[in-house]
Structure 1
Amino acid sequence: MKRVLIAATAASALLLAGCGTSDENDKSSNPASSAAASFPVTVGTLTLGARPEKIVSLSPTATEMLFAIGAGSQVTAVDDQSNYPAEAPKTDLSGFKPNAEAIAAKDPDLVVLSGDADQIVAQLGKLKIPTLVSPAAGTLDDTYREIKDLGILTGHGAEANAVTDGMKAEIDQIVKSMPARAKPLTYYYELGPELYSATSKTFIGGVFNLFGMTNVADAADADGSKGGYPQLSAEALVKANPDTVFLADTKCCQQTAATVAARAGWSSITAVQKSQVYPLDDDIASRWGPRTVDLVRSVADAVSKVS
C-alpha cells in the first residue's frame, strides 16, 4: 500500500555525506537568535553563506515547520503533497519521485527533503544546490531538533525555539491533565484497511507512550524486522482485542467507525463494542511537525472518553 510504503521509506531515509542532515549527532553552529541572525550558519555538513530567500520544500512536514517558524515568505515552491498551510506555494514537484531539473528550474538557494529518493541529493549536489535532508522523526526530540535546524538555516532561530518551547509546554500540559489509570489501555493504530500499523517504537508509538498505552501491533514486529510498520492479520487483531482503535486512514481510504464495525469478526472487539473507534486526520497523523500537538490532543480527547 502506497501510504505504508511512504511511511516506511520516510522512516528509513538515507542520510548521505555531502548534504546537511538533522541527525541527533549533528552539531549546529552559529545558533540564530532572530530573523536578522548572522551568516554563515552550519547544520550538519551544510553551510549557508546567506539567508535563503528561495526555499523549495519537498517534504510536507518541513513545509509546515518552515511556515510555523516564520520562514513562509522565503518558501517559493513546495511539493504536491504539501497541503498545509493553505498559502504554501504548491506545485507538481514530487518528494517521492524528485526531478533534479524541475527542482533546479525553481532556482532554489535551499532545498529541504525528507529522504534521498533516487539519489536526488547527489544530483542536486552536482548542480551546486544546497540541500538539507530532514528525515522522518523517531521521537519528539527529533522533531524539536529539526525545527531548530530549520530555524538556524533560515535566520529564524528565535522563532524556532519559541515553537518548540510552545509544543513542549502544550504536550506536557495535555499529558498531565489526564487522570491515572489502574490498567493501561490497549490500542490498535491503523495506517490502512490492509491492517498495516505502527508499533510503539515509531514516532506515532511514542505519542501513545505518553499516555502509558499498550500497542497490540508490537508482537507483529517484535524483532524490528518490519521497521516498526508491520501488517497484522485479522485473526491476530481480533484475538488481541484492543480497548481502542485509532484510524489514520479516514481521508485516503474512507475508513470510519462504521466500516470498522462491519468487518468480519470485528464486532467482538472491545473497541467496537464500546464505540471506542476514533478517526484521526490522516495528514496530522502522518507528519511529525508542529501539528503533533493536535495529534496528542486528539489522542487525549479519545482516551478521556474511555470508561
Structure 2
Amino acid sequence: MAAILFLILFSGIPVSATYAGDNPLKNVFSSDITGGYCYTTGNSAYSGTLAPGDSWTAKMPVTLPDDAAPLYSRLFIYWAWSKDGQKAAYPCIIPALENASLSADPFSRYTDTKGFVSRNDFFSGMDAFTISGLTGGENAVTLTVTNTHPENATLVIQGAGILSVYEAETGTAGSIWVNEGCDMLFSSYGVTPEMATGTIIFPGETVTEEVSRATLHLVAPSAGYTSANTPEKNVIMVNRPAENSLPLFFERILTMLFPGYNGWEWTDGFSSDEVHQVGEDLRDISPYLRSRDNTVTVRDNGDYLLLTNGILWIEKEAD
C-alpha cells in the first residue's frame, strides 16, 4: 500500500494556477439518506516546515450515533508551500491511521498556485482518501503524515479533516451533497474580488416545501485569519445572481416582501487562527434554497484562502 501511494503521490499532476476562482469544487457524492454526517478537524494544527523524513501527528476523534453505519468516509490532508528550495515541487506524503483504515481506492489530489512567475510561487492543495473501519460510537482515530520525498522537498500541513456520512435508524431523513477541490483565492496582484470568487454547485433537485433545515458547511484552509485584520475580508454568497440590474432601493423592497428571492450573502465567515488554520463556516441557509442546482460562491477580499470542501445537508420535514 505504501509503495502504491508513493508512486501516485510523486507523479506529476496537472495544476490550474491562479489567484482567481478557476477551480470549481467537484461534486463527489450525493444521496438521500436517513442518518446524518460528521466532520472534524480534531486537534490538527499548523505543522511548520516538514523536511523529508519528518512526521506530523493529530488526534482525530470521530463520534457517530451508536447505530450509525458509515456510508461515505473521507480523510482530507490540507498542505501548502510544497517546494524544493525556491522551486515548486509536488509533495510526497504518506498518511497512516490508527483505529481506522485507508481504502485501496485511488486518492484524489487537488492543487493550485498563485499563477505567475515570482518568488514563493509554490503548490498548495488537498489530498483526499477514502477510509473505512469507522463504527457507531466514539472512534479514537490518530493520523500520522510523513514526508517521504526522495530529494529535499519540504511542505507545511495546515491541518486535516475527517468526514463521515452515515445511515442510522435514529437519524434524520434528508439529502446530502459533498463537493471537493482546491481553489486558491486572493484579491491581490491585479486579481479583483470579482475574479477571486470560487464556485460550488450542488447538482440536482430539491423539494423546498419539504425542507425543515438546510445546513451549509464550508471548509477553507487559511480563511478567516489574516494579520492585516481586513474588514469584510471574505464573502459567502448563496444563490446570488452574477449580476443584479435592479436598483438597490427596489431590491431591498423585494427582499422585504419575498425573503430569499435573490439569495443572500454574509461577510467575514470562517473561523481559524494562526495555529488552527483550517477555516470552517457552518450556517442554516433554508430561506435561500432553490429547487434545483443550489449554488454557493466564496469571494476573497484580502483574506487569502484555499476553498476545498462544501457540504450541503438538507433535512426533510417529519411525516
Between 1 and 2, higher relative CO (CA 8 Å, sep ≥ 6) is seen in 2
Name the structure where helix makes up a greater proportion of residues: 1
Name the structure where strand makes up a greater proportion of residues: 2
After TM superposition, the score normalised by the length of structure 2 is: 0.29
After TM superposition, the score normalised by the length of structure 1 is: 0.30
